[in-house]
Chain A
Amino acid sequence: MNWEVVIGLETHAQLSTQSKIFSGASTAFGAAPNTQASVIDVALPGSLPVLNKGAVERAIRFGLAIGATINRRSIFARKNYFYPDLPKGYQISQFEIPVVQGGKIAIVSPTRGEIAIQLTRAHLEEDAGKSLHEDFHGMSGIDLNRAGTPLLEIVSEPEMSSADEAVAYAKALHSLVRWIDICDGNMQEGSFRCDANVSVRRPGAPLGTRREIKNLNSFRFLQQAIEYEIKWQIETLEDGGKIQQATVLFDPDSGQTRVMRLKEDAHDYRYFPDPDLLPLELSDEWLEEVQAHMPLLQEEVSGKFMNEYDLTPYQARTLTSSRELAEYFESAARDSDSKVAQLCANWISGNLSAQLNEEDLDISQSRISAVQLRGLAERIADGTISGKMAKEVFDVMWAGEGSADEIIERKGLKQISDAGAIGKIVDTVIAANAQQVADYKAGKEKAFNSLVGQVMKASQGKANPGQVNEILKKKLG
């Protein structure tokens, strides 16, 4: 009998503000411990929170981008729990009325094709500090630099049915928050982390008991953790066991999940409205202003690429994986014909991406500018250089040696496309290789390739390979 998998994701996106959500301390990553912890962040008595406009604006941008309801009035609440990296004894979050409700994210599921994942809500909250458990004479060290960093917690409906779909959703969300410039998406630094709620059931049965996998900070771990969890739950149920509601942690070394706490020990957060913060009220004017500054969204840009430059849906999706990449492509392909645009698209997603990956750079750090790449594409399109020469020009260009035209000139890479000149070389080769000519005429295709090779060699690789083929065939009759 089959099992049906039900997955929902809660994602914490760290908002890219300069200052904290309730204090004026910096949010920069990597500062010396506690140098960015203000009196508010360390919760000194009498200090009071003041809400950061930039954090609210980012939440609005998110709501607009996913077509959600943006509540004109939302409430901050205290989530009470006891932990040393939370010096107030509560986290300021939103509970009953979050700033963003509903909306959806489009993903491509390997099994269900294009689907939309509905979101439940997205709310503003503050991050906690960090506990360091290395031995400080048997004590733990507390760094409150991260305390008060603004987070948007984004909660999906339980609508994903496999680890692949969960990863596709997380990637789509990751690329969206970067696209609309509300989060830097740096997963190593914890700017984007996921909790996954996983349960299994028989088709048509009520929802099974779920377990929540906490704090997954890479797509690979998200995939592995969910796959392990599904397998474990199905095996447990098939062996006659029961699933207990629990919070679990994923251990990348063993590839397994292990229980952190059971439901009985679950936190009882005793939420209540924070009396220190009045309701967050958003005016229509502000929403309109934020809307006016929104960039075109990924789907819109990708549609534009397909229309204006004849890109395939796959090419368009690849080139809109980040705004920087899309902008790079646009400045390379703008106002050029579709042949040059196609070449730009292929070179960006091919050689350029490979080179960037190899040196662990992103597109903004590319050693080849969009204008340079376009120059290369134009010389391929007009037949000046062959694909093979283009690779050589690309490498030299990457090394910082100028524009395509300069490199072609300097290296003498110009392709010979003059039919007369190629014809002469072909004549010489035919005259010098009687045996192979005879073999070809006797039906040996291999002999033809060898003759092409001879012509290319005689031209020092500069003859246009397409023309060589054509002329050679004609002359051999």
Chain B
Amino acid sequence: MPLTSSDVKRIAHLARIEITEAETEHTLGQLNGIFKLIEQLQSVDTTGIEPMSHPLGGGQRLREDVAIDHPDRDAIMKNAPASQDGLFLVPRVIE
């Protein structure tokens, strides 16, 4: 299933990555290479094998439901380019 350059542009847009024409063509070649590998993998007969979501064995460890984390807002806010009244400020977004 070869991708086209418009697929690449769409994926870049979904990830909010700006991409030039030259980069689009370059990325297209790389992605199609990956697709070829996946096609190869898909030709293997996996009948009767349980799908694996993670390469590690075992299950998720759980945490007791206790509120033990008391965030230091001022410290966290120091990472923000802009803030006001305890809020992070971002370019105006209204969907």
User: Does A361 have its Cβ within 8 Å of any Cβ on chain B?
Assistant: no
B94 to chain A, nearest CB (A): 6
| B69-A270 in contact (CB<8A) | no
- Please state if A277 and B60 are interface contacts (CB–CB under 8 Å): yes
Q: Are B76 and A142 in contact (CB under 8 A)?
A: no
**Cβ–Cβ contact A273 & B54, under 8 A:** yes
CA distance A51 to B65 in the complex (A): 9
A39 contacts B91, C-beta separation under 8 Å? no
Nearest Cβ on chain B to A87's Cβ, whole angstroms? 9
**Partner pick for A53 among B15, B16, B64, B93, CB 8 A cutoff:** B64
CB contact between B89 and one of A24, A28, A52, A140 (< 8 Å): that residue: A140
**By the criterion of a CB under 8 Å from any partner CB, how many residues of chain B are at the interface?**
38
Q: A133 interface residue, CB < 8 Å from B?
A: yes
Interface size on A, residues (CB 8 A): 59
B90 touching A75, Cβ below 8 Å: no
Please encode chain A, from 15 to 48, with 1 for each CB lying within 8 Å of some chain B CB and 0 for all others. 0011100011111100011111111011010000
Q: Flag A257-278 by CB within 8 Å of B: 1 or 0 each.
A: 0001100000010100101011
CB of A52 within 8 A of CB of B92, answer no
* Cβ–Cβ contact B67 & A24, under 8 A: yes
B95 located at the interface, meaning its Cβ lies under 8 Å from any Cβ of chain A in the complex: yes
Which residues of the partner chain A approach B70 to less than 8 Å between Cβ atoms? 25-26
Whether B71 sits at the interface, judged by CB under 8 Å, is: yes
Looking at the assembled complex, report how far the CB atom of B45 sits from the nearest CB atom of chain A, in whole angstroms: 21
B67 and A26 within 8 A (CB)? yes
Judge if B21 is at the interface, Cβ distance under 8 Å: no
The reply on A281 being an interface residue by CB < 8 A is yes
Q: Complex: how many Å from CA A52 to CA B84?
A: 31
Which segment, of A77-85, A228-236, A338-346, A388-396, faces chain B?
A: A77-85
CB-CB under 8 A for A18 and B63, given A33-B87, A42-B76, A84-B93: no
Taking Cβ atoms with an 8 Å cutoff, the residues of A that contact B are 17-19, 23-28, 32-39, 41-42, 44, 50-56, 73, 75-76, 80-84, 89, 131-133, 136-144, 260-261, 268, 270, 273, 275, 277-281
- Seen from chain B, the residues whose Cβ lies within 8 Å of a Cβ on chain A are 10, 14-16, 53-54, 56, 58-71, 73, 76-77, 79, 82, 84-95
